[in-house]
Chains A and B, each alone.
Chain A
Amino acid sequence: MNRTRAAALGALLAAVPVAGAAQDSYPTTPPRLGPAPAVNPPVPVQRTLANGMKVMFVRQPELPVVSAALVIRGAGTTQDPAALPGLASFTASMLDEGAAGKSSLQIADALDLLGANLSTSAAWDAAYVNLYVLRKNFPAALRIMSDVVVRPDFPVNEVQRVRDERVTSLTRAKDEPQAIAANAFSSLVYGAQHPYGRFATVEGTRTLDRARVQAFHGAAYRPENATLILVGDVDAALQAQVEQAFGAWRATGTAPAAEGSLADPQIGATTIYLVDKPGAAQSEIRIGHPGVRRNTPDFFALQVLNTMLGGSFTSRLNTNLRETHAWTYGAQSSFSMRQAAGPFTEQAGVVTAKTDSALVEFFSELNRIRTQPIPAEELEKAKRYVALGFPGDFETTQDVAARFSNLVTYGIEPSFFGSYVPGIMGVTADDVKRVANQYVRPGNSVVVVVGDRATIEAGIRALNLGPVQVKEAGEFVR
């Protein structure tokens, strides 16, 4: 492997002019590297409590800290009622606003005195409660963590306060071109019948109340759907403490299910949606369509494809739009892999005057990766970037907890980590070409441009990429 890599590095440098070294021993070519270090992903010890909650212990004793991540599957945004997007996220944010008879301030003060960081959140497919604390304070912090998960009180005054903060945040979202672009894109790709196409609104948020939050918590926060991941100076001897903290947890009612359809929406011929932001210095561009679910058999090929297209600094999109044309601070692409197919998105903020030219380059790159041969050196670089960087994904206790959280959310076994490097290194040019043609569809894309309409509209229309529709920002942030 080392020899292969050294040869490939030489090939990359073949065109570089080499002048005489200022000193004899100074090399004018990059050093040959020794073999890459072996990857030893941590192996968790797994236990199950009587109530069905699972526990993973991942021992990393180098620093006297514990990172704890509780994953509650099925308590995420996908499970929001169709009529009330934001409920899962709001419920998660309310967990530490009063629990087990202790007030919001008492909980915060106790955590602060322990020097503990506790956060609660909801993503698409799960709710997460994360704790970071010095080992010596872990037992006390774990009890608080279990209180907020198992015994939240949702005091009415706190529900009102946090609800008002959310209303204020939504009210000001229209100030942010990136927020407008994000909501417009997901909404236009998925539509309101799909959970991924909905977004929280001021009007809906005002209807959030204690009863709805309490009901969602009771039904969605189920011990049999939960896994506690403990990383750091820990071992399975802590199980008794975990049992004591979480053993009494029981759910009520039936687990909520996604409302509407999780099937991929059909995207017709590419359409450009122009949202006016008068005087904007840049245009925020989003291009894409439904992508792929997390449990795709093409996972590794898609990682390599995306790295080449827009997932790394030297990717095609960034090289073209930033390093060649200097029209942007950065261009990226990503596959958001969820339980169902989340969006494939290409994006950049580009200087207003070059909005139309940037769109041309975006589509040029999307077509090129589908139709032109994949150069071997570029493919190797992308594979090595992903595979050799993999050990770095496990550097901190919080990194490790995050990696396992993702596996747990999607029901993937820890052995996946052992398959990662071989999986990436096994990707071929044909694989990349195949998944590019299957999962990148420039002819059936939603294009959102948030920018100064007066300056950019004529140029965009002249491109004839597809029909241009003008939308109001107020359709997507309201």
Chain B
Amino acid sequence: MKRLVVPLLLLAAPLAAQEVSIPHSTFTLPNGLKVIVAEDHSTPVAAVNIWYKVGSGYERPGRTGFAHLFEHVMFMGSRNVGQGVFDNLLEGAGASNNGSTNTDRTNYYEILPSNAVPLALWLEADRMGTLLDSLTQQKLDVQRGVVQNERRQRYENQPYGLMWEIAYEALYPAGHPYHWTTIGSMADLNAASLDDVKGFFRSYYTPNNAVLTVAGDVRTADVRRWVEQYFGWIPRGPAVTRPTPSSPPIPATRYITKEDRVTLPQLTMVWRSATRFSRDDAALGALAQILTGGKSSRLYKRLVYERQVAQSTNAFNDPNLLSGDFWVIVRGKPGTQLDSLEAAVMEEIARLAATPPSAVELQRVKNGIETAFVSNLETVQNKADQLNDYDYFAGDPGFAARDLARYRALTPADIQRVAREYLQGKNHIVLSFVPQGKPELAATENR
């Protein structure tokens, strides 16, 4: 992404409170561009947020990282917007803007004073309609260099920074598009060509593969008029083929050790879970919170608070379009044997598989999720992004009420059931990051 890659959504899917929905309306242009408008006049600001239904999950081996590199190129100007002018115009109107890429989608957004909405819409239309008219090798090369520095800064020069790459390579078979990370490899970034940019643009950056959401201090009729004028002429593109690889179960539990320039050993355990908004997505998110959300959560309390053998614990379910994964990350105190942390994680999972959590334990989690949902709706940008998220992954921008319902309906027995169905006794990845020269701290099979 332009300024920051979020390789994973680290939070549980948010939960709607009954009294807080996201009122909106939708319309679709003849060229297939779907538009969602959510009026909110509480502050004179608005967000323009467009999702293209493409991410690193649409890449092929040899071109990993391309969807994200392409995102960077989108800021380099189009037929009527010279290089550098995109950001200059927006900043001159008091707007901030950015974009992000993950496995399944790429988003672009502007947050602006409400009078500047037409500017953002026109800029988005110009790059959707005419990006290739002004594309040059120099633009691609500059952003290739920027992205390679993004990779250095956020992954290579960070302790534990290669955790995602190593884990995904183990979690998904070669050829599956979740086998690699959104940032991609240096070699593949070097291989990306102008022809790749052109082909990608023509395949995926089409009105029929995008959804545009405007939230905030706007009138729906105005938005419709602007959108028709700016986007209406852009021709519909070819139908998009969605990737449909099978996501086979993890064939065997696998132990991996990585020596890194780190002081603290870190244990990462990953199980296959389920796709976004599928039946057990909410229960798995709540289960993660029961393990590591709050001081009384099971793993935090046991390892950080009581035994004090770990510095931090973090569990989350990461459900995506094609598949999902359940992560547990425990960072040990200096010299901690990761075997002992692994055993503790397995014991806590076994406990939940044997006995449901208490009602109050689950209630704490539900209440925290409810607050997070309301908090999320305080910004027009989050509101717009949420509408797009529901539209893409749930097939309905008005999914908030049902999203709420699935969390409210959770019972302790549901938590127990998903602990059994997805974790207890299931194949998984065990990844140990250990200080250089200390491989003996790694978790190993049959220790």
Q: Give A contacts to B, CB under 8 Å.
A: 2, 5, 8-9, 12-13, 15-19, 21-23, 25-31, 33-38, 62-65, 104-105, 108-109, 112-117, 132-134, 161, 164-165, 168-169, 171-172, 174-177, 279-282, 312-314, 319, 322-330, 349-351, 380-382, 384-392, 394-398
Known contacts: A113-B364, A389-B94, A397-B378. The answer to whether A132 contacts B371 by CB under 8 A is yes
A282 to B148: give the CA distance in the assembly, Å: 11
Contact A112 B157 (CB under 8 A): no
Contact B295 A108 (CB under 8 A): yes
Contact A329 B154 (CB under 8 A): yes
Question: Per-residue 0/1 for B76-118: is the Cβ within 8 Å of any A Cβ (1 yes, 0 no)?
Answer: 0001111011011101111110000000000000011111101
Contact A30 B157 (CB under 8 A): no
Number of interface residues of B (CB under 8 A): 87
Contact B153 A23 (CB under 8 A): no
B438 adjacent to chain A (CB < 8 Å): no
Known contacts: A64-B19, A389-B113, A398-B378. The answer to whether A172 contacts B263 by CB under 8 A is yes
Q: Which residue of B lies closest to A135 (CB)?
A: B374
Which of A21, A115, A132 is in CB contact (< 8 Å) with B233? Answer: A21
Instruction: With A9-B93, A112-B365, A326-B142 given, name 16 new contacts (CB 8 A).
Output: A2-B115, A16-B82, A22-B234, A26-B229, A64-B374, A109-B364, A115-B367, A115-B368, A132-B375, A165-B304, A175-B262, A314-B91, A388-B93, A392-B94, A392-B112, A395-B380
Q: Which residue of A lies closest to B96 (CB)?
A: A389
Contact A281 B118 (CB under 8 A): no
Contact A15 B82 (CB under 8 A): yes
B133 adjacent to chain A (CB < 8 Å): yes
Contacts of A397 in B (CB 8 A): 378
Q: Which of B144, B229, B295, B379 has the most CB of A within 10 A?
A: B295
A12 to B88: give the CA distance in the assembly, Å: 8
Contact B122 A31 (CB under 8 A): yes
Q: Which residue of B lies closest to A97 (CB)?
A: B295
- Near A by CB (< 8 A), chain B positions 114-141 give 114-116, 118-119, 122-123, 125, 129, 133, 141
- Near A by CB (< 8 A), chain B positions 234-268 give 234, 261-264
Known contacts: A165-B311, A323-B142, A326-B143. The answer to whether A112 contacts B296 by CB under 8 A is yes
Contacts of A281 in B (CB 8 A): 152, 156-157
B301 adjacent to chain A (CB < 8 Å): yes
B390 adjacent to chain A (CB < 8 Å): no
Contacts of A327 in B (CB 8 A): 145, 149
Contacts of A171 in B (CB 8 A): 263, 334
How close is A99's CB to chain B, nearest CB, in angstroms? 14
A164 to B363: give the CA distance in the assembly, Å: 31
B165 adjacent to chain A (CB < 8 Å): no
Contacts of B156 in A (CB 8 A): 281-282
Q: Which of A5, A329, A396 has the most CB of B within 10 A?
A: A329
B294 adjacent to chain A (CB < 8 Å): yes
Q: List 6 A-B contacts (CB under 8 A).
A: A12-B92, A17-B82, A63-B20, A168-B334, A324-B142, A398-B378
A115 to B371: give the CA distance in the assembly, Å: 6
A13 to B86: give the CA distance in the assembly, Å: 10
Contacts of A164 in B (CB 8 A): 308
Contact A330 B3 (CB under 8 A): yes
Contact A323 B93 (CB under 8 A): no
Contact B80 A28 (CB under 8 A): yes
Q: Which residue of B lies closest to A35 (CB)?
A: B115
A37 to B44: give the CA distance in the assembly, Å: 6
Contact B115 A34 (CB under 8 A): yes
A35 to B94: give the CA distance in the assembly, Å: 12
